[in-house]
Structure 1
Amino acid sequence: MAGHSKWANIQHRKGRQDKLRSKLFSKLAKEITVAAKMGDPDPDKNPRLRLAVKEAKSQSVPKDVIERAINKAVGGDAESYDEIRYEGYGPNGVAVIVETMTDNRNRTASTVRSLFTKSGGNLAETGAVSFMFERKGLVVYPADATDADTMFEHAIEAGAEDVDSSEDGHDIYCEDTSLNDVSNALEAALGESESTKLIWKPTTTTDLDLEGAEKLMRLIENLEEDDDVQKVTTNMDVSDEVLAQL
């Protein structure tokens, strides 16, 4: 659990310092458009769209950008995207899952493979590393939302499986199929969450020293800079000393 929290913290700090924030907005808008196109354009009737809109709002995506993304799907002029998951091993054998949305499979596959190779890793077959993760729902609240005991009580009552509370905040985990219900119940009790999304939660982690962590971070940053890549997840774990240096 601690390893995931550390990695979440690394991502959070990186996200706040990301100079390419418009790229993040674009990825979130793409998810909204795809979700609206695949189901009902009303978030209240489309769980995937509701989660996509909620995550976009948590990242401060403007309301008009969200509305345009939905209207794009309703208007029928939205591009058609294939959702493809790539799996591989990064530096030092760290397991990496790359989730993409693409209108050109060959381009995306070539780019992802090239980035893995340049990092000293390698792309593998689908299923090669995902067995080391569980598909889970994650709801995040800030540390000052409530105390750890109260959060645990609310989370279990809402149908969650586990809670990881620390000075950085509260991470509430649930079954992927229960995320919408758990999120709604927690919102009713505690107000809007900081983040609500589906994740790949590592069941086993790989320890990295500073050099290995820096190499892996470069791979992740290069992958995330690609417009086709939506999310990158690893089973990286680092010590507090290495985390501080990062």
Structure 2
Amino acid sequence: KLPIIPGNCWIRKGSSSSSSSSLWAAQIPTFDRCWYSSRNDVRKIWTFTPIWMGRRSNKIATRKGAQDLKKGKLYAKIGKEVVSAVRKGGPNPISNPALATILEKAKELDVPKDIVERNMKKASEKGQEDYIEKFYEVYGYGGVGFVVEVLTDKLNRAVAAVRSAVKDCGGKMATAGSVMFRFRRARTLSVKVSDANKDQLLELALDAGAEDVIEPSDEEGNSEEYHSERYYKLVSPPENYSAILSKPRDEGISFELDSGFELIPNNRVEVDDEAMELNKELMSRLLELDDVDAVYTDQKRSLALNR
């Protein structure tokens, strides 16, 4: 199964695990738990079948790959915004407030300096065109809707690539407005599950004027490693975002900023396992496209499947 990524990010499963290693591992017997004693302490050691460890390692590696993809998308988006700001207002942040804002955002999001500098130079290159923001709406499986956020300097290339990916995965392009109404624009910040509990965040959100606290999904397991990589998401109207940021800072809670507006679904569409996997594949294909910065969806695993 493909994992759900924190911050509305998705990635395709790789093919790193080999069938031969799985066949070999299947012949290894399961080890029982054992105890290890030393002079100073007594520690419990757990051992597992190689097959279980292989799947666990694959999940961890896939999540790391997804995190790298998310980071790469963020850096690319900031780079495009730098190019746009420089082309419209010049390379001097003192006289170009839009550029100054983007540079400050890049600093807060820990975007590498060389990426910013490279895109500053790119803005003045011959033949470089302005970036255009577009949103494409898509129907997936089970009545699910997608909104594809694009920032591109070649609009024809971008729309052709999006349409091709949607068609290949069995989706359908939707007319403007037919899916977008299911979402609202908001700002968000993400807090690791290991850094705060839901009750604490709900109280914080209520005091700060947040709209909602979105819980992470439990679909991919409950291991300690998986638990540590999940995030609560605080949803805020744009006008309250500064107040929302100040609250976790005052409480000493670590968090991750968003990179701008996100689209939050007003309601979720419940789908079965088959539809969910097909929709994940569609989302993965879309996120592979360089012109695509984000993909938003309103799908949710059917509650009946979790009983």
| TM interval, short-chain normalised | 0.7 to 0.9
**AA matched with 2:82:** T
> Residue 30 of structure 1 is aligned with which of 76, 79, 85?
79
Aligned twin of 1:225: 288
Aligned with residue 148 of structure 2, among 98, 105, 117: 98
Q: How does 1:132-151 map to 2 (within 5 A)?
A: 132-151=182-201
For residue 233 of structure 2, the aligned residue among 137, 156, 171 is 171
Query: What percent identity do the matched residue pairs reach?
Result: 27
Summarize deviations over 1:41-60 as a string: whole Å, max 9, x none.
47xx6696278526743xxx
In the alignment, the residues of structure 1 paired with residue 107 and residue 305 of structure 2 have an alpha-carbon distance, to the nearest angstrom, of 33
State the match for 1:235 in structure 2.
298
Counterpart position of 2:65: 17
Distance 2:104 2:80 in 1: 10
Does the 8 A contact of 2:6 with 2:231 survive in 1?
Answer: no
Deviations 1:38-95 (A, max 9, x none): 67847xx6696278526743xxx434334544x448x745751000111120223310
Q: Using the alignment, how far apart are the partners of 1:95 and 1:51 within structure 2?
A: 34
Structure 2: distance between partners of 1:165 and 1:114: 33
Cα distance between partner residues in 2 of 1:94 and 1:55: 34
Secondary structure (helix, strand or coil) at the match of 1:128 reads coil
Give the secondary-structure state (helix, strand or coil) at the position aligned to 1:134: strand
Which amino acid in 2 is paired with 1:17?
G
Please, which moves more after superposition, 156-165 or 213-222?
156-165
Aligned to 1:117: 167
**Structure 1: which 4+ aligned runs deviate by more than 6 Å?**
240-243
Partner of 1:3: none
Change in CA separation of 1:240 and 1:87 when aligned onto 2, cut-off 3 Å: same
The question of whether the paired residues in 2 share the 8 Å contact of 1:116 and 1:123 is answered with: yes
Aligned partner letter, 2:77: L
Q: 1:103 to 1:19 in 2, by over 3 A?
A: same
What stretches of structure 1 of length at least 5 have no aligned partner? Answer: 1-5
CA contact (8 A) 1:160 1:172 kept: yes
Moved more, 179-188 or 14-23: 14-23
Q: Secondary structure at the match of 1:183?
A: helix
2:102 matches 1:49: yes
For 2:271, the equivalent position in structure 1 comes to 208
Shift of 1:103: 1.2
Unaligned runs of 5+ in 2: 11-59, 217-226
Q: 1:158 deviation in Å?
A: 2.8
Match of 1:190 among 252, 255, 269: 252
Q: Tell me whether 162-171 or 206-215 shows the greater mean CA deviation.
A: 162-171
Preserved contact between residue 136 and residue 174 of structure 1 (Cα < 8 Å): yes
Which protein shows a greater Rg? 2
Structure 2 counterpart of 1:27, one-letter code: A
Give the TM-score taking structure 2 as reference length.
Answer: 0.61
Instruction: Identify if the C-alpha distance between structure 1 residues 120 and 159 changes in structure 2 by more than 3 Å, giving closer, same or farther.
Output: same
Q: Structure 1 residues 49, 26: CA separation in 2 closer, same or farther (over 3 Å shift)?
A: closer
**Could you tell me how far 1:233 is from its partner in structure 2?**
0.6
Deviation at 1:228, TM superposition (A): 0.6
**For the Cα contact (< 8 Å) 2:190–2:232, is it kept in 1?**
yes
Contact conserved, 1:51 with 1:196, CA < 8 A, in 2? no
Q: Contact conserved, 1:183 with 1:196, CA < 8 A, in 2?
A: no
How large is the Cα RMSD of the aligned pairs?
3.6
- 2:84–2:130 Cα contact (<8 Å) kept: no
SS of aligned partner of 1:237: strand
